[in-house]
Homo-oligomer: A and B are copies of this chain.
Amino acid sequence: MKQITMADVAKLANVSKSTVSQYLNKRYDYMSEETKKRIEKAIDELGYQPNFIARSLKQKSTATIGVIVFNILHMLTTQVLRAIEDVCQERDFHVIVCNTDDDPEKEKKYIEMLRAKQVDGLIIFPTGKNLELYEKMAEEQFPLVFVDRMVPGIPADAILLDNHKAAALAVNHLVEHGYERIGIVAPPIVPHVIPRLERIEGFKHALAEKGLPVMEEYMVGMEISRIKEGLTQLFSSDCPPEALFAINDLTLMEILNFVKDNNIRIPDDLALISIDDVPFSNIYTPTLTTIAQPTFEMGKKAAERLFMQIDQKNEHHQQILRFPPTLIQRGSVKQRT
């Protein structure tokens, strides 16, 4: 199956390659109607399809961006990705998607290969551990946007949730409904995972604001697989929490699993609020009070910022955008009597 090239079209239409090129790029300014017709005819007679790779080589633009995420299976990722793709679709850009599983090595490889493939920009949910690489891209002014996490010290755009506010929303909502012994459940707290840190920090801060003590034993921070144990222990203590704040959907799932196994009634025995508005929040019994991230807006903005950088390759100022979370009141937190 031989590729049909511009040369073939040119020959058949009896014009030069350059003329065909002009035609394809709609530079009709000086082209006679007749040549146009002839070229058009030749094109569909041969079923000619332009080769973008060749064009990219010349034009230094592939109309392709890379999106590097931890895991496309996470809801946040999927939704952000969808929004990014929508923006790209409008501009006839394509999106290459890569999963790192939060492994810095994979991230490195992807960044390098995608750049070798000359993608026009990169949107990254960063592992945070490839400092040199991030730095290099920033220095070179390579279009780059971080999402979900940022990397301190790297002057790149970042699209984040306002994590402090999210935590405050949760705490305040609980406190206003009469809860005082509030626990928080999170994956392990590691220094480079900014959102977790910020959410915990926000939690403590909000508690303090409300004049409530921060109880270390109410803070469960461990591997997802161990959370159920952690909860078991916590709830076998003399004075278990009256309310739980799950900092993301994964921890929420573990909590729901735990309460199911232990016949803990929500919200009667335990109030529950979480960040990430899971798809079943409305159909679960009780319905789940959550704090939603504006995932689509975030994805859209990420793409827009990236295109801004792609368009004006000149100086561009870093922007750290924090998106406001939304409290969605449902049934897992009730007014205490």
A79 within 8 A of B: yes
- The listed residue (B50, B60, B89, B106) touching A116 by CB distance below 8 A is B50
Contacts of A73 in B (CB 8 A): 78-79, 82
Bound-state Cα–Cα, A277 to B113, Å:
35
Closest CB of chain B to A26's CB: distance in Å?
Answer: 16
Is A283 within 8 A of B253, CB to CB?
Answer: yes
79-124 of chain A: CB within 8 A of chain B? 79, 81-82, 85-86, 89, 92, 94-99, 106, 112-118
**Interface of A with B (CB < 8 Å)?**
1, 3, 49-54, 56-57, 60, 62, 64, 66, 71-73, 78-79, 81-82, 85-86, 89, 92, 94-99, 106, 112-118, 140-141, 253, 256-257, 260, 278-280, 282-285
Bound-state Cα–Cα, A97 to B67, Å:
10
Contact A85:B72 (CB < 8 A) given known A95-B97, A96-B94? yes
Bound-state Cα–Cα, A114 to B53, Å:
11
Contacts of A96 in B (CB 8 A): 64, 94-97
Closest CB of chain B to A270's CB: distance in Å?
Answer: 15
Is B85 within 8 A of A99, CB to CB?
Answer: yes
Bound-state Cα–Cα, A253 to B114, Å:
38
Is A113 within 8 A of B94, CB to CB?
Answer: yes
Is B99 within 8 A of A94, CB to CB?
Answer: no
Chain B residue at minimal CB-CB distance from A279: B253
Chain B residue at minimal CB-CB distance from A94: B96
Instruction: Count chain B CB atoms within 10 A of each CB in A53, A89, A279 and give the residue with the most.
Output: A53
- The listed residue (B62, B64, B89, B282) touching A257 by CB distance below 8 A is B282
Instruction: Count chain B CB atoms within 10 A of each CB in A98, A112, A141 and give the residue with the most.
Output: A98
